[in-house]
Structure 1
Amino acid sequence: MSNLDDSIDAAAAAVRAGEAVVYPTETVYGLGADATDADAVERVFELKGRDRTKPLSVGVPDVAAAREYARPTPFETRFMERFLPGPVTVVVERGPDLPDALTAGRARVGVRVPDYETTLEFYRRAGRPVTATSANRSGAPSIRTPAELDPALRKRVGAVLDAGETPGGTESTVVDPGRNVIHRRGAMADEVAAWLTEEAGAPPTVE
């Protein structure tokens, strides 16, 4: 196996063991842990110094996996099938396997399927949803190479999946298609708004 294959295996094993890992996406490096494990989720909040009232998104390898851990309606599923994989975070009803710690007690959760094969293969091998948040201390810049990782954070994660520099680009658009709301405009925001306007029968509210 290649070094990258070995790194993917090591990161996936660390997630299954309840540890946090650093992994690449199509934009920046992320901080991941088993999103079904409340203790692992708490570790991500602690490592980032993130406010517990701010929910985390989850990353999965495809829409089928998203439907295992979330409860999208048929309309929301059609939206996901149109825009995922891609730089869009889709907010839908969470499933029972996701803990309150992940969603800050809310009934809905953001779902990501990154358009980046290394990330998707990592998710597949982990075999469970993985937290999707940037691998930096809250308030610090996001990182595109492992060399930029905070040394203190590096020491406390179970693995760093090093795939070199990430492609970078615009942050994901965050959208709740069932409520016809765009929470954050980012990549593909115009396409998302056009689809919702046509399919929902009204332009989305942009917060």
Structure 2
Amino acid sequence: MAEGDSYEVLEPKPENIERAADCLQEGRLVVAPSDANMGLAVDPHDIDAIDRVYKVKQRDRSKPLTLMFHDPSDWTEYGSVPDADVMNGFVEAFWPGPLNIVVNRQDVFPDELVGGMETISLACYENPTWRAFVEHAEPIAMTSANISGEADGQLVDRGMAEEHVGEAVEYIIDGGPHETTQSTTIIDLSDTSDPSVLRQGDISVSQLNDVRDCF
């Protein structure tokens, strides 16, 4: 375990991951690895903690956080789409993995989490440290662990996370190097009759269309 000015860096051991998960559920913030950027994690039910995320990131409050969970099939607890077969096709093909899917939100989280929007971004990643963490703390909300607009197109690594948000977090879980080359792909399935790609990452439009030719 290493120490920063106001945080501790934890090796991804089971006891440390459980400790960080407990901390998150007490309303504090944790940095953890994901399938792309190091992420700033928060309890999605805790309005005060969500407020701290927006403040430390200097993030526009109209930009929602992403909701994350361990089991791909759990998406129905948090969102809905007009045609579930479309959603399930992408879930089965790419989750766990670096794909965020925007769906219509279920009314189970505060408006502050999603900027008052009627949709919510869902993710289920494959990074083993992330999976161990979210299994203890799920669901969690997450955003990249950097000041908004200052990543300059690069993935947020531990060094950037420490520099940008270290003073605001309790723990940083060291998850090792990224396996992806860019931020996650994001698709919008809130209207399955007119789906769209909001951002292309390592999962390409061609790969998406191999599952369902709709982009």
Q: Which bin holds the TM-score, normalised by the shorter protein?
A: 0.7 to 0.9
Counterpart residue identity of residue 148, structure 1: M
**Which residue of the other structure, out of 66, 88, 96, is the alignment partner of 1:85?**
96
Q: CA deviation at 1:29?
A: 0.5
Structure 2 stretches lacking a partner, 5+ long: 1-10
**Which residue of the other structure, out of 41, 60, 68, is the alignment partner of 2:69?**
60
Partners of 2:128 and 2:68 in 1: CA distance: 13
Q: CA RMSD in A?
A: 1.9
1:28 paired to 2:37: yes
Partners of 1:154 and 1:193 in 2: CA distance: 39
- Residue in 1 aligned with 2:6? none
- Residue in 2 aligned with 1:200? none
1:8 paired to 2:11: no
**Which residue of the other structure, out of 63, 69, 74, is the alignment partner of 2:84?**
74
- Residue in 2 aligned with 1:137? 147
Structure 1 segments (4+ residues) deviating >4 Å: none
**Which residue of the other structure, out of 203, 209, 212, is the alignment partner of 1:188?**
203
Structure 1 stretches lacking a partner, 5+ long: 198-202
- The structure in which a higher percent of residues are helix is 1
Counterpart residue identity of residue 56, structure 1: L
Deviation per CA, 1:53-72: give whole Å up to 9, x if none. 11111111122332222234
Partners of 2:73 and 2:211 in 1: CA distance: 21
- Residue in 2 aligned with 1:162? 174
Matched residue SS, 1:149: helix
Residues 77/158 of structure 1: CA separation in 2 closer, same or farther (3 Å cut): same
Q: TM-score, normalised by structure 2?
A: 0.83
**Which residue of the other structure, out of 119, 127, 130, is the alignment partner of 1:116?**
127
Partners of 2:12 and 2:30 in 1: CA distance: 17
Deviation per CA, 1:172-203: give whole Å up to 9, x if none. 11112323111112221221133231xxxxx3
Moved more, 33-42 or 12-21: 33-42
Indicate if the aligned counterparts of 1:4 and 1:162 stay in contact, CA closer than 8 A.
no
1:101 paired to 2:138: no
Aligned pairs, number: 196
Identity of aligned residues (%): 28
Q: CA deviation at 1:36?
A: 2.4
Q: CA deviation at 1:42?
A: 1.6
Counterpart residue identity of residue 117, structure 2: R
Indicate if the aligned counterparts of 1:90 and 1:175 stay in contact, CA closer than 8 A.
yes
Q: TM-score, normalised by structure 1?
A: 0.85
Indicate if the aligned counterparts of 1:10 and 1:159 stay in contact, CA closer than 8 A.
no
Indicate if the aligned counterparts of 1:103 and 1:109 stay in contact, CA closer than 8 A.
yes
Deviation per CA, 1:105-150: give whole Å up to 9, x if none. 1111111111211101100101x321221101112224222x3334
